[in-house]
Structure 1
Amino acid sequence: MKKIVLSLLVLSFSMTSCVSKKKFTDLEAKQKATQDLLNTATVKLNTCLTEREALANQIDFLKKNNSDLINNMGNLTTLTTKGAENLEKSLESLKEKDLKISRLQDALTKKDSVTLALVTSLKKDVGMDDPDININVEKGVIMISIADNLLFKSGSYDVSDKAKGVLAKVAKVINSKPDFECMVESHTDNVPYKGGVLLDNWDLSVKRATSIVRVLQSDLGVSPKQLIPAGRSSYIPLVDNDSPANRAKNRRTKIIIMPKIDQFYDMIEKEMKNMSK
């Protein structure tokens, strides 16, 4: 399973309501902790599958031995007491491990099913024929990447009317999942920002993120408790900033829809503890 790497860096901007750097540091730590937990659960799951296969082989071996004894002696009484006890213990152990594996697989399947359903819904509503919009699943969360030429004018942080139509469809999904969080992550190219009251690309990326958050909250009715604005400046480019076309690719906003997976990982942790008993 792919490793979740979600770096969160928030710039506190005096004219905006951005979340604090501490909150994003805590969120980043929480995301890493949950990924570590999921990785551990996956290792446990693979170990159980291996043990189940070994037990199945052991059962086959015991059955063959018992069958040979029956054939040779012509009487079921030749089945030794020890062999019968071993077979019974193996069957009981296999049954217990199957139950634990089934619970883990159900939890993983439930999370994947919810994520897949949301992605399918978004792709249907937003439309995949727009080259400026990309929707997929990365590291267990839904990523909607929107090119800045659809959201803003060059050097501006005012959300365009065209973008509001796309954001309305995103808001519909968020509003249908009140237990989900939505991070708005803005990226710029490496061309220094000049003019206006903003200082640099840090300010511009944060201001663009908060502008989208305000549209989602004020115009589209998304609960502010679900929203997280984040500015990343020019430090996470998709491609080298060595041409106008590449710089255009790097100017983007990612809307990350994240299930609140506390309950999911609590369930995983509980099953892990049961497996260790």
Structure 2
Amino acid sequence: MKNKSLLPVLLIAAVLAQSCISKKKYTTLQTSHSQLQTNYNLLQDTNRDLDQKLQKTQNNLSESQVRVRSVEEQLASERSNLESLQKALDKCLTSSSQGNVNISKLVDEINSSNKYIKQLVNAKNKSDSLNLVLTNNLTRSLTREEMSDVNVQVLKGVVYISLADNMLYRSGSYLISDRADKVLGKIAKIIKDYDNYEVLIEGNTDNVPISMPNIRNNWDLSALRASSVVQSLQNNYGVDPKRLTAGGRGEYNTIADNNTEAGKARNRRTQIIITPKLDQFMELIGKAPASSGE
């Protein structure tokens, strides 16, 4: 009789125990979900900010390249003007019918054009020389082993330093590896030596979909990797953050075929783009000597 009266009590206790365990699991899952949602929202905000900064820097880079082309066009125009003036002067000297032309004025215009061309050439050569010195200083500071993971180029007045992801980041992560610290330290020293240059850190990936917690796709991964480099340059090596911009280009800025492993490895890279300020060129162009049109 006692055993029969204990049976319902035991059943009720078992149900209550089961209910407690389920509620605990539910609370844990609910807390985890809230944390993941918070992280997701933070990543969305960060990604939007990085996209805006990247767009601004890319616009500045495009304007700099347009300025370089404008300088080259101005040089060509001034050389053409010089040739025209020289022909007019020759014609004055050899033809009596042109005796009313003011030869002295033509000579002054030729001398003025020559001086202006020399100013433009000197300014352009100065910028090119600074880029060459910057590149040489960097490559000389790197060891042969480091150079295998670092590619340095100068294109149209802009210095591109490309870093392989297997050297720069921990495997499958956006965290900077211990191996990369030494290389970033050398790059930071060069950046600090040339304090009038702007610096864009640009992350790039291959086209393999990413599968990491709280990272939606390769856009997120490339932006986070660029941000890691920027923060390392700022926090570990004292580079002025006002000169730095971080941005990600995902899998859409390829330099090799993603259908091969070698191509994917080349596409997985982070570029440090160092851009000189070209205001001096625009100031010189604004001071171009006036032509008489004769």
| TM-score (ref. length: structure 1) | 0.81
Return closer, same or farther for 1:244/1:37 CA change in 2, 3 Å cut-off.
closer
For residues 170-204 of structure 1, give each alpha carbon's deviation from its aligned partner in whole angstroms, at most 9, with x where no partner exists: 00011112222211111111000002221111111
Paired residue secondary structure (1:100): helix
Is the contact made by 1:202 and 1:233 (CA closer than 8 Å) also made in structure 2? yes
Query: Which residue of structure 1 lines up, in the alignment, with residue 195 of structure 2?
Result: 178
Q: Could you say what secondary structure the match of 1:157 adopts?
A: coil
Tell me the residue number matched to 2:63. Answer: 33
**Cα deviations by residue, 1:137-172 (Å, 9 ceiling, x for unpaired):** 023211111111111233211111111111000000
Structure with more of its chain in helix, by fraction: 2
Distance change >3 Å, CA 251–CA 105, structure 1 → 2:
same
Q: Is the 8 A contact 1:18 1:230 kept in 2?
A: no
Q: Which runs of 4+ in 1 moved over 4 A?
A: 14-20, 274-277
Match of 2:205 among 177, 182, 188: 188
Q: Distance in 2 between matches of 1:212 and 1:248?
A: 19
Conserved 8 A contact 1:18-1:206: no
- Matched length: 250
Aligned to 1:43: 73
Deviation, 1:235, is 0.6
Q: Does 1:141 align with 2:171?
A: no
Question: Counterparts of 1:1-277 in structure 2 under 5 Å?
Answer: 13-14=43-44, 16=46, 19-65=49-95, 83=99, 85-127=101-143, 130-261=147-278, 263-272=279-288, 274-275=289-290
AA matched with 2:243: Q
Contact 2:201 2:244 survives alignment (8 Å): yes
Whether contact under 8 Å (1:144, 1:255) holds in the other structure is yes
What is the percentage of aligned positions where both structures have the same residue? 34
Q: 1:13/1:226 Cα in 2 relative to 1: closer, same or farther (>3 Å)?
A: farther
Structure 1's 127 and 258: CA in aligned 2 closer, same or farther, altered over 3 A? farther
Separation in 1, partners of 2:109, 2:63 = 31
Is the CA contact (8 Å cut-off) linking 2:68 and 2:156 kept in structure 1?
no
Contact kept in structure 2, 1:205 and 1:231, CA below 8 Å: yes
2:67 counterpart letter in structure 1: L
Structure 2 CA distance for aligned equivalents of residues 155 and 64 of structure 1: 77
Corresponding residue SS for 1:144: strand
Report which of the two structures shows the higher radius of gyration computed on alpha carbons. 2
Q: Deviations over 1:69-105 (max 9, x none)?
A: xxxxxxxxxxx9x627432222122112112212211
- Unaligned ranges ≥5, structure 2: 1-41
Kept after mapping to 1: 8 A contact 2:50/2:246: no
CA contact (8 A) 1:52 1:94 kept: yes
Check whether the contact 1:19–1:229 (CA below 8 A) recurs between aligned residues.
no
1:89 and 1:16 map into 2 onto residues whose CA distance is 62
Specify whether residues 19 and 98 from structure 1 end up closer, same or farther in structure 2 by C-alpha distance, changes over 3 A only: farther
2:153–2:159 CA contact under 8 A, matched in 1 = yes
1:33 CA displacement: 3.2
- Contact in 2 for aligned 1:186/1:233 (Cα 8 Å): yes
Shift, 1:212, TM fit: 1.0
1:243-262 CA deviation, whole Å, 9 max, x = no partner?
A: 2121111101111112233x
3-state SS of 1:167 partner? helix
Q: Secondary structure at the match of 1:22?
A: helix
Amino acid at match of 1:190: N
The amino acid of 1:169's aligned partner reads K
